[in-house]
Structures are given as structure tokens and as C-alpha cells.
Structure 1
């Protein structure tokens, strides 16, 4: 009489454990990749909202410090860039005052913006009339760079014409 034993051998158990380990490692790796990128769309949306906030503020200002309120008659001097004197953001009154503004996002009065920790902005303004088919002094280019958490970088550009 032969006796039959039901069950798995030690070799079969070791092979099963190895196969399950490899499968679990692959699944966990995929989940960690997905979880690491889940904040990307949120940061992109927040960067666009922040850019809109800054561009609306900048584009609502006068073309140049010498431009009268309302923009008429238009400024006919040379294109100048940079804040006049010791202005701070609360006293910026024309587009080129924003040149060189950088740091943590804030409101026009200098108060910190909630919900934007880890973000930073950098603004550059340049004379750029020839880029849009106008005389050099007739338009300014505003370049806004936003760095989000994780060193994601977003660049936005707008033009302000002298009208």
C-alpha cells in the first residue's frame, strides 16, 4: 500500500513567494509613480490662476510713468524700464515698475497669498515693439515665471501696447 501525501513542497512554496514578491513590487512601484504625479495638475491650475492674478494687475497699469491717467495723449518718449525712485509694490503705477519683482506671491498691498506656499514668481519687463510689428518704444513685453513646489516651472508672456 502506498500512502499519498497532499500538500506543497518547500521548493514550491519558495517559488510561489518569489513570484508574488515580484508582482507586488511592480504594483507598488506603479502606485508610487502615480501618487508622486497626482499634485502636478493641481500645481498647474494654481500656477495659471496666480499668473492671471499678476497679469491682470500689471496690464491694468499705465504704459509708462509719463503716460497721463486714461492713456491719452499717449506717451511719445523713449521706452524706459524700471521703478522710479524707491517705489514698492503698493505704489507701482505703470507696467515697467514690475521689472525685477521676484519672491513669494503676494497681493498688490504686499500681503501674502494664502494657498501658494512653495510658489515663487519672477517678472521681467522689456521694450518689445518690434516683436509685434510696432516701433520699439510702442510695446512692452511682460515675462512672468512661476516656480511651483517640486521645481515645476511655468512661463507666461503678455504684451502691453502704448495706446
Structure 2
């Protein structure tokens, strides 16, 4: 008696490939979004590092252009002292001391000396650099796809609110806020 060998027919083979293809498509569609979100905690930590670093830099500056940097007894807007910078004038001062100037004539970040100089700061990619304004390729590589936006506003005559918005490479926006008092 001869044994008959039994193989796989072409139809069975095609049906198996179709079932395998459908299975892989389902698995990929389920795991794909999970894989994309797996980097979110890493980006959130990077954003927190960047936000804390920038907040430390801002808090290391004087309260106002008219504030004494040596810690005198008079604060801006007090009797006998110079007035604080008006809200519409918040931002970097003109390099030549003029009240109004073109953006290109304003002081650069390495010369920021008070909190409100950071108002409307909007940097991303290679523009994110060290406190001293020097290009640090290590920082540029780490934060290349991030964006930082800063807003400074008055809460009261002697208090400014600093708001940082950091946008991660995945498009998430992480916000930080702090109050800086003139005391």
C-alpha cells in the first residue's frame, strides 16, 4: 500500500497569508499609538528640566530695570524711588537707552538683567542655549524639537507673574507659573 502525501494547496496558502496579514494589521494598529505615547514621560521630564532651568535663570535677575541690584531699602514705585517699568513696556530694553526701538536693537538674552526682559521670549530648536547666551551644542541637541515661550505680567505693583509654556516634540504643552516679588 502506497502512502499518499498530503500538502498545502494554493488556496489554503493564500487564505493563511490573508489571515496573517489581517492579524498583523490589527496588532500594529493597537500597539502603534501605545508606542508613540511611550516617549511622553521622557519628554515631560525634559520639559520640566528646561522649565526649571529657565525659571532659575529668570529668578536670578532683578525685579525691574529700575530696581537696585544691591538691595537698597527703596523699591521701584515707592516714595523717593524711580517708577517700575510700565506694563506696555515690559520686555528687553533698547541697547541705546531709547524708550522705543526696533526689535533688532533690543538687548540680547545674555544681557537680560531683570525679570521683564524675558517677556515675549519665544525660542525653539537651536535658539535654546545656555544662560550665558553661548551656543551649547549639547543643549541644542537635547532640546532641538522643543519650544519655549515666556510671558511676564504684573499681578500687583510689587509682584510679577512669570509664565513659561514649553511645547514638547510630540506637541504637548507643559506650563509653569511663578510669582516674583520686589522685596
TM range (shorter): 0.7 to 0.9
Aligned partners of 2:76, 2:143: CA distance in 1, in Å? Answer: 39
- Would you say 1:84 and 2:111 are equivalent positions? no
Q: Could you state the TM-score of these two structures normalised by the residue count of structure 2?
A: 0.72
Aligned partners of 2:84, 2:177: CA distance in 1, in Å? Answer: 18
CA contact (8 A) 1:145 1:153 kept: yes
How much has 1:72 moved relative to structure 2? 3.4
Aligned partners of 2:180, 2:74: CA distance in 1, in Å? Answer: 13
How much has 1:5 moved relative to structure 2? 8.1
- Would you say 1:62 and 2:89 are equivalent positions? no
How much has 1:144 moved relative to structure 2? 0.9
Give the structure 2 partner of residue 36 of structure 1: 36
How much has 1:46 moved relative to structure 2? 0.5
Rate the CA distance shift 1:96–1:17 in 2: closer, same or farther, 3 A: same
How much has 1:34 moved relative to structure 2? 2.5
- Select between 24-33 and 3-12 the one with higher mean Cα deviation: 3-12
How much has 1:6 moved relative to structure 2? 5.4
- Would you say 1:71 and 2:71 are equivalent positions? yes
The alignment of Structure 1 onto Structure 2 pairs a total of residues equal to 155
Q: Which runs of 5+ in 1 are unaligned?
A: 129-135
CA contact (8 A) 1:82 1:96 kept: yes
How much has 1:106 moved relative to structure 2? 1.3
Q: Which runs of 5+ in 2 are unaligned?
A: 78-82, 96-106
- Select between 140-149 and 73-82 the one with higher mean Cα deviation: 73-82
The alignment yields a C-alpha RMSD, in angstroms, of 2.5
Q: Could you state the TM-score of these two structures normalised by the residue count of structure 1?
A: 0.80
| Secondary structure at 1:68 match in 2 | coil
| Secondary structure at 2:157 match in 1 | helix
Aligned partners of 2:68, 2:8: CA distance in 1, in Å? Answer: 91
How much has 1:62 moved relative to structure 2? 1.2
How much has 1:83 moved relative to structure 2? 2.2
Rate the CA distance shift 1:8–1:63 in 2: closer, same or farther, 3 A: same
CA contact (8 A) 2:40 2:170 kept: no
Tell me the alpha carbon deviations over residues 59-93 of structure 1, each in whole angstroms, 9 at most, x when there is no partner.
Answer: 12111122212433242415422222222211111
Give the structure 2 partner of residue 125 of structure 1: 152
